[in-house]
Structure 1
């Protein structure tokens, strides 16, 4: 792993570049000058040669949607294939930082360069801000050489892009890798449709937690809204209201008409294993596939990437259960990412 020769800094907005307004902090364009001034104030740090681009307009990451994921993917692919870029630093708001890191992990499968995401809890230049430390640390990690794949750097920690979650909203150490059980067969190879060079289309994907009182009518309204995949956040090891025949029938009908149904655990350290309880077996019989110990961010992003690649329902279900870049497997050595990510 070598230091990059040409680094793209891709700014998307977020707290790191926000400025005060009468209504509170708002995204601001033109972060390059502030970034270079920050670097000039730290002349001793090792920084790869970089150039700058920003998505326009910059956004508060609370407004992030799938179109932004695809725009980020397209900008990164263009930087690598057209501009000779061999690394990317993506600046992003913290609210959906882990979602975007996961999405890019699956949209850039096989890309041979590192992509590192970071941001900050306070704007750059604000008193006591963590922006300078996160930027400096991210540049240092890139200069030291990162494995190809998608990574997240925050508060001195290098995290796997498809295993990170935001766990705190008022502390600088806001991100961590989920302590969920992980195991799954690793992909021996990928279909051409999942290669990073292949464009993707927007996909209607939804997430719904199972909760006491969930009714068949609630579920039907969501499944009839035109979604192509539903991620159910189940109890424990993958259970739900299995005695509700009407609810199970709604799931069964949706699966029969082609909707992909997947499940993860609501537990912070949970893992779906449908065979443990009869209630879980009932859900699996309706067509749900297990997300193992994947996080919500990873499972949602993976469904988006698989469906957006034009795969059939059966193909999406197959590849959802296969480890593509370390999202389902035992963690690699600290600081390393999965081979395909």
Structure 2
């Protein structure tokens, strides 16, 4: 792939640019000047021509919301279509970096440029920090030419944007690709309503891990909150409390009124196969669709992109089961 001619660096906040306050580390502006000074101090590093934008307000990524995903999407589209950018480096906090990478993987379908997310476990300027190695490593990877799509660069590795998860809270090798079985039918052609240009809106989504003792009343309260999509984190290959008729009825009734119900495995290396156990078949009978070997981040981002595009329940379910960008199949 060719080197980019004009790169957007989109700074959203996060540890990489944080500075110390009386309460602890907080997002700080002025990062463009710090980046240019670091680049000038090391002219031997391969860096494409870039322009700089900041998300306003800057975020601790623990405060990330769907609206911020949409703001990132809008900024990237404007940079590509109005300013001629042909690559993007997005600087992001690590707490929700994998969620944003997954969401953008689906929000930017059809955009034929590379988008790379990176951040750091320690702020730039701290002795021994991973901030500059991650940032300039990502720039070098982009300069070398990357395929279109969303990726994460961290600790010297390029990772698939819709497969990555954060596995460690302090170590520099905090991110990795989930080792889940990957098989699924690929989408033959991208429909217009999934193209990155198609408008998106905020969606009421919920994630619920199944656990021993979960009550039907708790599930009903969640479903009664107006959720449009519910992601259930099931046991093993897609099982749940099949001997609880009230819980099964709550799921069935929610599906009947249009809620999209999806399932992933709680197991770090698991995937959904409802038919293996009768307990899984009972959940499938309530209207749950399989998320295969998708991670929580990928499944949530995919539901957001599908429902946020205004698709009906049936179309969301059809597309959720297909591989859109490598989240389900190699």
1:41 deviates by 2.0
The Cα RMSD (Å) is 0.5
1:328 deviates by 0.1
Matches within 5 A, 1:1-341: 1-330=1-330
- Note the residue ranges of structure 2 that are not aligned, 5 or more in a row: none
1:39 deviates by 1.1
Give the secondary-structure state (helix, strand or coil) at the position aligned to 2:83.
Answer: coil
Give the secondary-structure state (helix, strand or coil) at the position aligned to 1:55.
Answer: strand
State whether residues 94 and 120 of structure 1, in contact with CA within 8 Å, keep that contact through their aligned partners in structure 2: yes
Q: TM-score, normalised by structure 1?
A: 0.96
Q: Distance in 2 between matches of 1:7 and 1:141?
A: 12
Give the secondary-structure state (helix, strand or coil) at the position aligned to 1:5.
Answer: coil
Q: Distance in 2 between matches of 1:259 and 1:301?
A: 16
Q: Distance in 2 between matches of 1:126 and 1:52?
A: 22
Q: Distance in 2 between matches of 1:196 and 1:82?
A: 15
Q: Distance in 1 between matches of 2:170 and 2:87?
A: 30
Q: For residues 199-251 of structure 1, what are the alpha-carbon distances to aligned partners after superposition, in whole Å with 9 as ceiling and x for unaligned? A: 20000111000000011001010111011000000000000001000000000
1:29 deviates by 1.4
State whether residues 99 and 297 of structure 1, in contact with CA within 8 Å, keep that contact through their aligned partners in structure 2: yes
1:325 deviates by 0.3
Give the secondary-structure state (helix, strand or coil) at the position aligned to 1:82.
Answer: helix
Q: For residues 295-316 of structure 1, what are the alpha-carbon distances to aligned partners after superposition, in whole Å with 9 as ceiling and x for unaligned? A: 0000000000000001100000
1:24 deviates by 0.3
Of 144-153 and 189-198, more deviation after overlay is shown by: 189-198
Q: For residues 97-137 of structure 1, what are the alpha-carbon distances to aligned partners after superposition, in whole Å with 9 as ceiling and x for unaligned? A: 00000000000001010000000000000111000100111
Q: Distance in 2 between matches of 1:236 and 1:315?
A: 27
1:191 deviates by 1.6
1:11 deviates by 0.2
Number of positions where the alignment pairs a residue of Structure 1 with one of Structure 2: 330
Q: Distance in 1 between matches of 2:7 and 2:271?
A: 38
Q: TM-score, normalised by structure 2?
A: 0.99
Q: Structure 1 segments of 4 or more deviating over 2 A? A: none
Q: Distance in 2 between matches of 1:199 and 1:36?
A: 35
Give the secondary-structure state (helix, strand or coil) at the position aligned to 2:307.
Answer: helix
State whether residues 240 and 283 of structure 1, in contact with CA within 8 Å, keep that contact through their aligned partners in structure 2: yes
- Note the residue ranges of structure 1 that are not aligned, 5 or more in a row: 331-341
